[in-house]
Amino acid sequence: MKLVDFYRNTAFDNRYDENSFIGKILNYNLWSDDEYWKLEADLQKLLRLNLNKIFIKQEIMEGIFSICNDVFLAQKWDFIKIDSDILYKNNPNIIDKEPNIYDRFRRLKRLLVAVAYGDENFFNIDFVYKKPEISCKKDSKKEA
pLDDT in tens, 86-136: 655 555 555 557 899 999 999 999 999 999 888 999 999 999 999 876 545
Read off φ and ψ for residue 53, nearest 5 degrees: 60, 30
Judge contact between 34 and 40, C-beta under 8 A: no
* C-alpha distance across the termini of the chain, in Å: 42
Domain boundaries, the chain: 4-143
Q: Region 4-11: what's the mean pLDDT?
A: 97
Three-state DSSP class for 31?
strand
Judge contact between 115 and 64, C-beta under 8 A: yes
Q: Record the pTM.
A: 0.84
Predicted local confidence at residue 30, as pLDDT? 94
Read off φ and ψ for residue 101, nearest 5 degrees: -65, -35
Predicted local confidence at residue 143, as pLDDT? 45
Three-state DSSP class for 38?
helix
- The confidence band for 142, taking pLDDT boundaries of 50, 70 and 90, is very low
Predicted local confidence at residue 7, as pLDDT? 97
